[in-house]
Amino acid sequence: MKLVAALFAMASPVSAQPPGKSTIAASHPMESMQFLLKYLPVAVAEDNGVGNYGHGAIQGRMQTVKALSYSAPNCQLYSAVGSASSSSSAQSMTPASLDQSKSVGSDCSYTSGKSYGSDNKMHMVYANNQNQCCNACISTSGCAAATFHTSSQDHSGGRGPQSWEGFGIHLPDVVAAETTGGLSVDALTEKYVGRLGDLSVFDAFMDYSVTFYTYNLQHYIDVFKADGVNHFLGQWKDGQSRQWYSLIFLVPQSTYVIELVSMHASAEAATLPQMEQRMNDEAVPSGAVARSTAIMPSSLHL
């Protein structure tokens, strides 16, 4: 079952309806969220709850960042709390504890008009407001503090997916729900990991995925190679014989498979293994954003 999710990342009216989501149960949502926040243009969902907890679940819920909202990540994570300096456009925060298990479900302590500066920097992530930046820090192992850089593009408030949020990638651990029978989430995850291995060859289970379109795939190829993130690369043609490329990876600690597709990659891409057509012609973007096609704008590379 291959889901080509609906997301309209180009400019749209604020009143537009949210573009949908894909939800898969997870046992380690914070680890999965840490990975996705680091590598993809996504932000913590607005309704993720205080400290990533709500409605009886540890919420690993993210929404893609819409194009024309932010041009770069705006939430700086830190491995230690450094000296704070004045910055009128910054909101700094610390989680309730360095122990992630104690911080989940708790809010951060906030300081307005202060930035933790350049020492102890980790990576930056996207956030629409200071609460999302706090939740991003809580989900990231080793994060002791964060600084959110405010702008005119910020949004906050409301329950459920908001019109200013993109497609939802949701990986909740519903700890309050009792389940019986069948495989546990952890057991199923182990089977996915065993089946896909290092993703060096294509496997049919890669079709149980969500597909996102990005203008240029090369950024993700370069970053994944540099950081040793296992992924599969292949090439294919659509019904009009146009050349396409796919990058497929398994979100850590989950069964969530993501495929990024693009018509642009490096010159070396010509040597990649051939694949069958990965999207039907109706879903392939051509000039304008086509229906049922998710978008990872190249302008939002981390």
Running along the chain, 302 residues long, what does each successive block of 10 average in pLDDT?
Answer: 35 45 94 97 95 92 91 96 93 94 94 94 97 97 97 92 93 86 91 96 95 93 96 94 95 96 83 91 56 40 34
In this structure, the dihedral spanned by the alpha carbons of residues 52, 58, 60 and 63, taken in order and rounded to 10 degrees, is: -60
Which DSSP letter does residue 175 get? Answer: T
Measured CA distances, 1 to 207, 208, 291 (Å) = 6, 5, 18
Residue 286 confidence (pLDDT): 55
Dmax of the chain from CA atoms?
Answer: 57
Nearest to 125 by CA among 213, 33, 260, 26: 33
Q: What is the pTM of this model?
A: 0.88
Residue 161 confidence (pLDDT): 86
Residue 212 confidence (pLDDT): 94
The whole-angstrom separation of Cα 174 and Cα 222 is 35
CB 209, CB 248: distance < 8 Å: yes
